[in-house]
Structure 1
Amino acid sequence: MDSSISASIQFLRWDPLYVTEKPFQAFLDKDLAADGERNTNLSWEEKDLTISDFRAHKEFQDIDNHGFTSRKIVGFKNLADRNKIEKLYIPTVERLLQSEIEDVGTVFIFDWRIRDSETYYPGGYVNFGDQTKSLLPSNFAHIDMAPISIVHRIQKSFPRDADKIFSQRIRAINVWKPLDHAVEQWSLAVCDGNTILPTALVETDSVRRENTTTLYYATHSSEQRWYFLNKQTPDEALIFKHFDSKPDVKAPFTMHSSIKHHRVSPDAQPRRSIEVRALVFSGKFELSEL
């Protein structure tokens, strides 16, 4: 049975301007356009795609084959309390990565966020600094962290031991799962890392009130193949890589995006999800000692 669906994703539209001016977007608590400045120099194009369910395919069991995989996380259907997230769920994710991903010595979880398709941004301001504030699903093909952001994260978090960390295998991994009920709209899709041309990735600065981070947005190409877990349940975790320093790995990363379904039931429930971002090091050591 074919469980593929038709959906759309926003891709970066290439502009020759990016040769001389780095792509950027500003998420600040004021509209820069009011002062005659630009909030961004990015432009987008929407592409209709076929998204395939990879749930029953064994070839996707190893995250290094395509840049993503899935595993079970049972018992966290509802996560409305920050204390429950940080005291119970985050340690569960850490144990999952340690047991289900190869070559794992140490897991350093540095960020988590809730996304809700009914989120409202007061004044249009996206507050990335407050983890208790939910975000909308993102319908843009992207990779959360460019290598330079990973370097900065390690230098900031482990200033005395950064050189020791840089000498081992480093991966940036996201663990994403829905909350409350199976996904009925705005599913999360990932692109087969073997089908991403390096030229499709465009380094972009995301300017926020708290800091500036660097990520990749992606242009579209016909080679790209996109996958998801159709009607993904709260017990199913989607695990995918932003980065892998191992030089000979088959798929060192994947890009991802929430998808705009072409067919959504009028009574479809809103999507709620939690994502956890981690740095995974091959060396084993106590984080408290770094």
Structure 2
Amino acid sequence: MVQANLRFLKRLDLYKWEKPFQLFLNLPADAEDKRQTNLTFEDLPVQIRDIRERDSPPSLDDHGFAVRTFQSSVAYEDMTRPGVVESAYSAEMETLLRIEDESITRVFFFDWRLRSTDSDANHERLNLNDVTKFIGPAIAVHVDQSPAGALHRILLQLPDDATELLQGRVRIINLWKPLLYPVEDYPLAVCDGSTIAEDDLAATDNVRQNYQGESLQVHFNEGQNWYYLSEHRPDEVLLLKMFDSSPTVRSKCCPHGAFKMPDLADTVRPRRSVEVRALVFSPY
């Protein structure tokens, strides 16, 4: 177990009458409201348990996350080559998902990200449209898709099949793993989704040039249980559930965010990681 700071959305009265938002675009020079965001965060100390020390392994249905061993055949050098993650690597991750749940009928990967704590990656202007470039870790605790955002994503990506697909179980699952070597700093903190209260989650508009989605920002609650995977290896895939339409599972989603490990030497290697995001369909 470690104690470290996690970044949460503050519980402000502002959000009672103004929806949280963040803009990833340039505003017109004559815009009356020049705010890029109304999000205000606070860094709070949290006890973060080691997944390896659990008596039983976590599961997607009960906790919103799981860890699986999987050795990828895709070389690190190939990850930034156009088309490689979308084809070869995503095919491997689909295999892993189908091993996890044999009832899956369809998997559709709609996004992926390379992340690094290298200074170059952190100081470059964030370009969410170029997925072959490394970007910095996501520090603020969040859930990638709200329920409304998940529905919008399905209608956007699979409009011809959406009506049929929505008759069954729909999940959004991220698959996250380190590259090159084990994580030494900025591991991913994950919350047991069954310990999240409804008012811990704040639907947030994310506005880009050609797309508007909705995610969930997260308020701190003493009842939340947080975990990380110590010395997270490149052959260990962390499965994170963003959304689940099943009415019977204990955990609907997995809030998560990267955090700085306390008391580390300055010589730690930068964290490099890859994550892919999938729409996962199966019968109820």
- Normalising by the residue count of structure 1, what TM-score does the alignment of the two structures yield? 0.90
Instruction: Report the residue type matching 1:13 in the other structure.
Output: K
Deviates more, 1:273-282 or 1:14-23: 14-23
Deviation, structure 1 residue 62: 2.7
1:28 and 2:34 correspond: no
1:40 to 30, 34, 37: 37
SS at match of 1:206: strand
For the structure 1 residues 160 and 40, does the alpha-carbon distance in structure 2 shift closer, same or farther, using more than 3 Å as the test? same
Is this contact kept in 1: 2:110–2:157, CA < 8 A? no
Unaligned runs of 5+ in 1: 284-290
The letter of the residue matching 1:159 is: P
Aligned to 1:8: 5
Task: Please provide the CA RMSD for this pair.
Answer: 2.0
- Aligned-pair distance for 1:229? 0.7
Stretch of structure 1 that moved more, 157-166 or 45-54: 157-166
Aligned residue in 2 for 1:287: none
Identity %: 38
Is this contact kept in 2: 1:179–1:274, CA < 8 A?
Answer: yes
Q: Does 1:231 align with 2:231?
A: yes
Change (3 A) 1:282 1:205: same
Higher mean alpha-carbon deviation, 128-137 vs 33-42, is at 33-42
- Look up the SS of the partner of 2:136 in the other structure: coil
d(CA) in 1 for partners of 2:278, 2:83: 19
For the residues of structure 1 that align with 2:111 and 2:187, how far apart are their CA atoms? 21
Query: TM-score normalised to the size of structure 2?
Result: 0.92
The size of the alignment, in residue pairs, is 278
Task: Determine helix, strand or coil for the equivalent of 2:150.
Answer: helix
1:288 alignment partner in structure 2 = none
Task: State the secondary structure of the residue aligned to 1:148.
Answer: helix
- Looking at structure 2, the residues matched to 19 and 211 of structure 1 have their Cα atoms a distance apart, in angstroms, of 25
* Residue of structure 2 equivalent to 1:262: 262
Provide the C-alpha distance between the structure 2 equivalents of 1:48 and 1:278, rounded to a whole number of angstroms. 32
Which of the numbers 18, 25, 44 marks the counterpart of 2:15? 18
- Residue among 43, 48, 51 paired with 1:51: 48
Q: Please identify, of 93-102 and 194-203, the stretch whose mean Cα deviation from structure 2 is larger.
A: 93-102
Any idea what the Cα deviations from partners look like across 1:125-164, whole Å, max 9, x if unmatched? 4211111122210111110001111111111222222111
1:214 is aligned to 214
User: Structure 1 residues 48 and 31 mapped into 2: Cα distance closer, same or farther (>3 Å)?
Assistant: farther
SS of the residue aligned with 1:97?
Answer: helix
- Distance in 2 (CA, whole Å) between partners of 1:33 and 1:141 is 33
Checking the alignment, whether the CA contact within 8 Å between 1:25 and 1:206 is kept in structure 2 is yes
Structure 2: state its 5+ residue gaps. Answer: none
Looking at structure 2, the residues matched to 34 and 8 of structure 1 have their Cα atoms a distance apart, in angstroms, of: 36
When residues 82 and 263 of structure 1 are mapped into structure 2, their CA distance, relative to the original with a 3 A threshold, is farther
User: What whole-Å deviation, never above 9, does each CA across 1:176-222 have from its counterpart, x for those lacking one?
Assistant: 00001110111011001111111100001112223121100010011
What does residue 149 of structure 2 align with? 149
1:168 aligns with 2:171: no
Match of 1:241 in 2: 241
CA displacement at 1:258 relative to structure 2 = 0.5
Counterpart-to-counterpart distance in 1, 2:154 and 2:29: 31
Task: Measure how far apart 1:56 and its partner are.
Answer: 5.0
The secondary structure found in structure 2 opposite 1:41 is coil
Deviation at 1:103, TM superposition (A): 3.3
User: Over residues 37-60 of structure 1, what are the superposed CA-to-partner deviations in whole Å (9 max), with x where a residue is unaligned?
Assistant: 111111111011111111353633
Amino acid at match of 1:90: S
SS at match of 1:279: strand
Aligned to 1:286: none
Secondary structure at the counterpart of residue 65 of structure 1: helix
Distance between the aligned counterparts of 2:190 and 2:142, measured in 1?
10
Assess, with a 3 A threshold, how the Cα gap between structure 1 residues 206 and 121 changes in structure 2: closer, same or farther.
farther
1:70 matched to 2:67: yes
